[in-house]
Amino acid sequence: MPQTTIYVAPRLAGTLGTIPPAVATVELARLFGRSAALAGVSLTVEIGRTVALLGPNGAGKTTLLRILATAIRPSYGTLAIDGIDALREPELVRGRAVYLSHATAHYDDLTAEENLRFAATMFGWGEREGGEVSREALATVGLDGHAGQRVCTFSAGMRKRLALARVLVARPSLLLLDEPHAALDGDGMALVDRLIGLWKEAGVTVMVASHQAERVSSMADATVRLEGGLLAEVSGAGASAGPVGARQRPRVAVARMDR
């Protein structure tokens, strides 16, 4: 088994000695046209927790993760990542939250190693260190034998492994994984499980959206279930349904716009 180094962003000091939660959303909503993909989600996740994000298709899992990653802005509501207001300072959040999406976001004409070295530069690694962490990440995901191969020749599973290697190259404090097991074979799924375990040990907050409820729930500290863009259930340790006193009325107003 190759050596795996988990790089983690340094913690932010909380004001007056308090540690801010990794994720704090208040009545987060997102409309696409007249349809509300997310209809008012207030959720708090403590630092270092692994959270399984469950729910049927169209429940709002991907929309929630994309908003947390600052890929899209919410239509309503507020969110803070590690105590940073993500709407005001998204660039600070991007240095801490890393998102693994459905799309693997590779460049087909570049080799696997070139893709990773590019990502390493974008994540702030220097030339030499970037090469080292890229090679190490490739070995961890089992692609070291394909480092010089162009990505256009990769299967869907290999592309997913390379996307996981990109996450390893980043130094997240919050990891947002959207269906990380999709397109992977048995070994690949076990690799994802092992990596989630390592991130958990390293104190990284991990939110995993998945249809493999049993698989991710067994690894998670808490389970969050979304239905119709709303929180249906929050259970376990380290996650709670919003900050104390969060108003719930606006989510009803937003949900009505869907009709």
Partner 1 sequence: MNGLRQGLAVAMAIARKDAISELRGRQAAGSTLFFAALVLLLFGFALGPDSRRLAEAAPGLLWLAIVFGGLLTMARLHQLEADDGAFEQLALYPVDRRAIYAGKALAGAAVMLVLGGLLLPIVAILYAIPIGTAWLPLLIAVALGAIGFAAIGTAYAGLTVRMRAREVMLPLLMLPVVAPLLLAAVKATAASLSGDPLGELGSWLQLLVAFDVIMLVVGAGTYGFLLED
Binding site residues, partner 1, CB under 8 A: 69-73, 91, 94-95, 98-99, 101-110, 114, 118-119, 121-124, 127, 150, 159
Contact 28, 60 (CB under 8 A): no
Nearest approach in angstroms of CB 248 to partner 1 is: 26
Residue closer to partner 1 by CB (options 78, 101) is 101
Quote the least distance from Cβ 31 to partner 1, whole Å: 12
* Residue (126 or 197) nearer to partner 1, CB: 126
Find out whether 138 and 113 touch, Cβ atoms under 8 Å: yes
> CA angle at residue 239 from 233 to 242, to 5 degrees?
75
CB of 218 to partner 1, least distance (A): 29
Residues 6+ apart with CB under 8 A from 183: 156, 157, 159, 160
Q: What is the C-alpha to C-alpha distance for residues 240 and 233, in angstroms, rounded to an integer? A: 9
For the record, the structure tokens of 227 come out as: 């239905």
CB of 145 to partner 1, least distance (A): 21
Query: Which one, of 154, 151, 141, lies nearest residue 192 by Cα?
Result: 141
Task: For residue 97, give the nearest of 71, 132, 59 by alpha carbon.
Answer: 71
Least spacing, CB of residue 113 vs partner 1, in Å: 12
Q: Choose between 119 and 209: whose C-beta lies nearer to partner 1.
A: 119
Distance, CA of 172 to CA of 181 (rounded, Å): 19
Task: Output the CA torsion 19→94→45→192 (10° steps).
Answer: -120
Q: How far is the CB of 241 from partner 1 (least distance, A)?
A: 26
Report the residue number, 120 or 184, with the smaller CB distance to partner 1: 120
CA 256/CA 228 separation, integer angstroms: 12
Nearer to partner 1, 110 or 219 (CB): 110
> 124 or 145: whose CB is closer to partner 1?
124
The rounded distance, in Å, linking the Cα atoms of 84 and 94 is: 11
Residue 67 or 254 having the CB closest to partner 1: 67
Q: Minimum Å distance from CB 177 to partner 1?
A: 14
